């Protein structure tokens, strides 16, 4: 590994133009930039929840892996950029009631043909802040889940953490319940920047938590960073990347800052009559991530997707992402959780009380659903796999009977002409420039009825 003092300074590369004129294109305006599913959530509806119930009553498709996602919606503070369903200030008894509901929900799923008798291949504890839970709550939750749907065959169990909630004792419990992939939401190392963006932790807590986690021996530690938060500068970003490299995590996930509608930042923008967010524009953020990728590569990492670098690609995997993007069944537990099971998308109740009351009444808390057509399923997997930087065409012709080269001839030709991707043999590959802005390219592959529609 090269000495940090030898690293090249941060410069902003120029990327090919895509879409509207530069000024409008580059501003960070309100809305969802990151594409996580297809068709867009705005097309899911309460009138179609019966489709989810019907899917759960069918046996699983052969060779389709099963995963569990558990949403822990509790945090010490709400970050100004957070758009997830989270709660601050809940009492211990309210948290316990929520965990009781989650376990009851899982038992309801275990009675259905699609889920019962299967063993999850991957489990993901997301939030919110899963590490907000006490050691007692963690042990009770994991034990109850294991009794209902054993994960002894799981190859990956991911657990998201906020550094300030971690102690050595809590980390030992997290490891003891089987967690193999610990994901630390560091976001940045600069204390002033963390405070301005509403983060609950500081830099001292980062180093303490990371040292504990390494001493306990988690098989994989991932670190999350965000490029372009409020107050970011080239010097601060360079320092953030260099400190991350010194930690030497097994993988790093870098998101580019966006401002969805249901965030504190958006409310502040609206109150001030602003259309552009007080954060770096997209050109700057792409430049910062590009520079970071280069520094990680110099340090021996490999770029694994539009957002990730890995230290050892031979042993560092992310099954939750890779299997979900290839059509795995995912059962989402908890308030507002998303599922993709038996070919149907569905989402849980988004209100805390409504979620608890529905489960207590012995019903699954499904709020809205959509069953994609064969073509929509093909589009979903194609655009999500584009985020990996490489798409294999034969996979789609075997699975869907559709050739993406024919289905997407127009956008593939246009983006290739702009130097954002190329086709070689039986694969599509994105260039670095295309990978850095892949989320803004994906709507070009939407079916006509989904273009220009609100995403959520």
Q: Quote the domain boundaries for residue 390.
A: 373-456
Instruction: Give the mean pLDDT of 236-243.
Output: 97
CB 404 within 8 A of CB 396: yes
Q: What are phi and psi of 92, to 5 degrees?
A: -60, -35
Provide the pLDDT for residue 25: 64
Domain shared by 72 and 217, yes or no = yes
Domain shared by 222 and 316, yes or no = yes
Provide the pLDDT for residue 399: 97
Rounded Cα distance, 184 and 79, in Å? 15
Domain at 443, CATH number: 1.10.10.920
For residue 128, cis peptide bond before it (omega within 30 degrees of 0): yes
Rounded Cα distance, 341 and 115, in Å? 9
Asked if residue 15 has pLDDT above 80, the reply is no
Domain shared by 274 and 178, yes or no = yes
Domain shared by 85 and 233, yes or no = yes
The pTM of the full predicted model, rounded to 2 decimals, is: 0.93
Domain at 285, CATH number: 3.80.30.20
CB 250 within 8 A of CB 304: no
Q: What are phi and psi of 354, to 5 degrees?
A: -65, -40
DSSP 74-117: B-SS--TT--S--BSS--HHHHHHHHHHHHHHHHHHHTSTTTTT
Domain shared by 54 and 201, yes or no = yes
Confidence of residue 209 (pLDDT cuts 50, 70, 90): very high
Higher pLDDT among residues 12 and 192, named by residue: 192
Taking CA atoms, 441 is separated from 44, 296, 409, 418, 451, in Å, by 22, 25, 14, 12, 12
Domain shared by 143 and 202, yes or no = yes
Domain shared by 147 and 53, yes or no = yes
Q: Convert the pLDDT of each residue in 100-150 to its tens digit.
A: 999 999 999 999 999 999 999 999 999 999 999 999 999 999 999 999 999
Residues 6+ positions from 434 with CB-CB distance below 8 Å: 415, 419, 420, 421, 441
- Domain presence at residue 362: no
Residues 6+ positions from 65 with CB-CB distance below 8 Å: 121, 122, 323, 328, 329
Q: Convert the pLDDT of each residue in 16-52 to its tens digit.
A: 434 444 444 688 887 788 999 999 999 999 999 999 9
Taking CA atoms, 402 is separated from 112, 379, 425, in Å, by 32, 10, 17
- Domain presence at residue 336: no
Domain shared by 120 and 210, yes or no = yes
Number of domains into which the chain is organized: 2
> Which tokens belong to 387?
């985020």
- Domain presence at residue 287: yes
Instruction: Give the mean pLDDT of 344-363.
Output: 97
**What is the longest distance spanned by two Cα atoms in the chain?**
63
Rounded Cα distance, 346 and 338, in Å? 6
């Amino acid at each position: 590994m090269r000495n940090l003092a030898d690293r090249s300074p941060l410069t902003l590369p120029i990327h090919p133009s895509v879409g509207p004129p530069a000024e409008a294109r580059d501003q960070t305006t309100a809305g969802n930039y990151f594409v996580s599913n297809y068709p867009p959530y705005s097309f899911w509806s309460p009138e179609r929840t019966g489709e989810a119930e019907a899917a759960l009553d069918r046996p699983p498709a052969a060779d389709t892996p099963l995963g569990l996602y558990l949403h822990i919606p509790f945090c010490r503070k709400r970050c100004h950029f957070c758009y997830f369903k989270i709660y601050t200030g809940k009492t211990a008894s309210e948290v316990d009631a929520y965990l009781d509901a989650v376990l009851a929900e899982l038992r309801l799923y275990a009675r259905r043909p699609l889920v019962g008798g299967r063993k999850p291949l991957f489990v993901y504890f997301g939030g919110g802040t899963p590490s907000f839970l006490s050691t007692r709550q963690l042990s009770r939750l994991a034990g109850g889940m294991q009794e209902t749907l054993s994960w002894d065959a799981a190859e990956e169990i991911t657990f998201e953490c906020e550094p300030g909630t971690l102690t050595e004792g809590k980390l030992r419990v997290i490891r003891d319940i089987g967690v193999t992939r610990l994901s630390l939401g560091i976001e940045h190392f600069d204390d002033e920047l963390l405070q301005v963006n509403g983060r609950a932790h500081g830099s001292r807590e980062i180093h303490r938590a990371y040292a504990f986690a390494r001493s306990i021996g988690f098989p994989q530690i991932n670190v999350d960073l965000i490029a372009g938060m409020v107050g970011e500068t080239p010097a601060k970003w360079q320092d953030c990347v260099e400190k991350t490299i010194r930690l030497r995590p097994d993988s790093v996930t870098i998101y580019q800052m966006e401002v969805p509608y249901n965030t504190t930042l958006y409310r502040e923008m609206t109150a001030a009559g602003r259309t552009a967010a007080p954060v770096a524009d997209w050109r700057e953020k792409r430049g910062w991530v590009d520079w970071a990728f280069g520094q990680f590569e110099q340090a021996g990492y490999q770029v694994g997707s539009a957002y990730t670098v890995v230290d050892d690609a031979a042993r560092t995997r992310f099954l939750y992402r890779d299997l979900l993007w290839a059509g795995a069944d995912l059962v989402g537990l908890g308030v507002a959780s998303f599922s993709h099971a038996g070919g149907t998308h569905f989402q849980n109740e988004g209100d805390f009380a409504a979620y608890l009351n529905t489960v207590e009444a012995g019903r699954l808390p499904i709020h809205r659903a959509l069953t994609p057509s064969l073509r929509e399923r093909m589009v979903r997997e194609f655009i999500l796999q584009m985020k990996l930087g490489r798409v294999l065409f034969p996979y789609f012709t075997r699975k869907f009977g559709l050739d993406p080269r024919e289905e997407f001839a127009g956008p593939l030709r246009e983006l290739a002409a702009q130097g954002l991707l190329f086709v070689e043999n039986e694969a599509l590959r994105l260039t670095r420039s295309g990978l850095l802005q892949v989320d803004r390219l994906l709507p070009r592959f939407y079916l006509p009825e989904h273009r220009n529609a609100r995403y959520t």
